[in-house]
Chain A
């Protein structure tokens, strides 16, 4: 099997040349996906503000959801939510 070479050229956390990880998307392996409790959510948007990957988006009714392809399951939204509305649903 041929060895794959990695070359990192840019600093904004990006690899320009394709490695063996290219068929995977950032959200393929994560610890858990955040779930919002809509009864208690006041729609303040703190989760959206602090998401490092821009995975949290606003739905038409004003509540928030996480994009499965982008979310890496870091849990910052769960930790930062003032009302403890978000819980991490563990996967795998």
Chain B
């Protein structure tokens, strides 16, 4: 039987830091899954990490309705943003401006991540902690309650967001600009939008326009990657 000894989580620390007694999340919560893997990456710094309330948090000089976690270690300052798209508008769902703003403001390491790709998320948080100076990580966390899908499909919806290029995973640092998860055959944007019941009233025309916007944004990203 030992020929099947491949244990996937062997590549991650197996100790659980996520405190279940404090955890009042809904079943299938994307934030909960993301926080669990972030905690594994930052280990000893969990108690020093500070959380900011969604309504009052201050990010890039503007007030935003996102959950922010700040971690400090020696010279490194990491800002991790857990984005569950509480606003619920289509424009917010397909275009993410925050990482681009962070790059423009001179952050040393900027990355986007998704809890559907835990190893990718883990590596990026590790990298951010080891980078001197400010760094920013934007995590897209699917929310079964606000987005209206079955709790068991949380991870699948996260995959769809990346595979339809609505939320490409990339990292920007000093001297590199990479797309970390490359999709060879991108799916149509409608696959991602129709998986969520909150977008069920969209017309075919609106979806087409959204798809054009997504393609344009991805084109910009590819240009940036090739320029470096």
Contact A11 B69 (CB under 8 A): yes
Q: Is A5 an interface residue (CB 8 A)?
A: no
Cα distance A74–B26 when bound, in Å? 9
Contact B4 A13 (CB under 8 A): no
Chain B residue numbers with a CB within 8 Å of A78 are: 152
* Chain A residue, CB-CB nearest to B36: A54
Contact B155 A76 (CB under 8 A): yes
Chain A residue numbers with a CB within 8 Å of B10 are: 45
Q: Mark A59-92, 1 if CB is under 8 A from B, else 0.
A: 0001000000110111110111000000000000
Cα distance A14–B60 when bound, in Å? 26
Chain B residue numbers with a CB within 8 Å of A44 are: 4, 6-8
> Which of B15-23, B171-179, B208-216 binds A?
B15-23
Cα distance A10–B22 when bound, in Å? 10
Q: Mark A1-43, 1 if CB is under 8 A from B, else 0.
A: 0000000011111110000010000100011000000000011
Chain B residue numbers with a CB within 8 Å of A62 are: 5, 7
Q: Is B99 an interface residue (CB 8 A)?
A: no
Most buried by A among B6, B10, B30: B6
Contact B32 A13 (CB under 8 A): yes
Which of B54-89 touch A at CB < 8 Å?
Answer: 54, 67-69, 82
Contact A74 B53 (CB under 8 A): no
| Residue positions of B touching A, CB distance < 8 A | 4-10, 12, 14, 16, 18, 20, 22-33, 35-36, 51-54, 67-69, 82, 118, 144, 150-156
Q: Contacts A54-B16, A78-B152 given; 7 further ones with Cβ under 8 A?
A: A12-B23, A13-B31, A42-B4, A45-B10, A53-B23, A76-B151, A79-B155
